[in-house]
Amino acid sequence: MKKLLVNADDLGLSSAINAGIIQAHVSGIVTSTSIVASGQAFDEGVELARLHPDLGVGVHLTLVEENAVASNVPALAPRGVLPQTYGELVKKVVTGRIRLLDIEREFRAQIERCLLAGLKPTHLDSHQHTHALPLIFPIAIRMASEYAIPGIRIPRGIPACRDLSANRFACNFVSSIGAADHAPLYGTLRKRRIDARPPSAHSRSPPRWHQ
């Protein structure tokens, strides 16, 4: 039996966004949200989540546009600030100027901040689907497994492992895209070519996440 999940990203980013998400949950069809650990209204978002226990809360992993949560990620966040754009992040990751270890540390810091606040994350997703980038996706899978987070968003069409579950986060992930329809978006890593456009918010194929 299929289950419809209507998720609202960016809880914790601002008070206005928090209010909109809660209104859409109470009076609309939103059943799930994902919280930004580095958001200015994170504490308020946590409290609102506590007041609405029927609202599932995931972690909205963030690698661009915000301040870092981790303090020991100099390649990812010089002076504590994450890359300002999706394109900047992709270029630095592909060329090795951002260490994958820094990304893992930042993911851990964001997840652990949510856990320390008393949240029980239902899933992982990310701002602009950065967790689904080929070099980053295995890190996101590993974090979900280690922290026993039962779901992870799989943007439709991304050539990721289709056999994901709470107990089986094993994936032989191909480092190069190999899918012609995604080459313009993510580039071909073997040739170090990128067209760093963020996924469109109005894509005809909406993202989904597996449990």
Chain centre distance of CA 158: 14
Look at residue 211 in the predicted model and tell me its pLDDT: 41
pLDDT in tens, 179-192: 232 333 333 233 33
Measured between alpha carbons, how far is residue 171 from residues 120, 122, 129, 163 in Å? 24, 20, 18, 8
Say which amino acid occupies 47.
E
Higher pLDDT, 196 or 132: 132
Higher pLDDT, 40 or 199: 40
pLDDT in tens, 136-161: 999 999 999 999 999 999 887 555 44
pLDDT in tens, 58-68: 999 999 999 99
- Give the bridge partners for 208, in sequence order: 154
What value does the mean pLDDT take over residues 35-64? Answer: 97
Parallel, antiparallel or unpaired: strands 56-61 and 208-210: unpaired
Select the CATH number that applies to the domain covering 7-204 from these four: 3.20.20.370, 3.30.870.10, 3.40.50.300, 3.10.620.30: 3.20.20.370
Chain centre distance of CA 5: 16
Q: How far apart are CA 44 and CA 22, in angstroms?
A: 12
- Structure-token pair, residue 17: 């966004």
pLDDT in tens, 73-132: 999 999 999 999 999 999 999 999 999 999 999 999 999 999 999 999 999 999 999 998
Measured between alpha carbons, how far is residue 3 from residues 21, 24, 28 in Å? 20, 19, 17
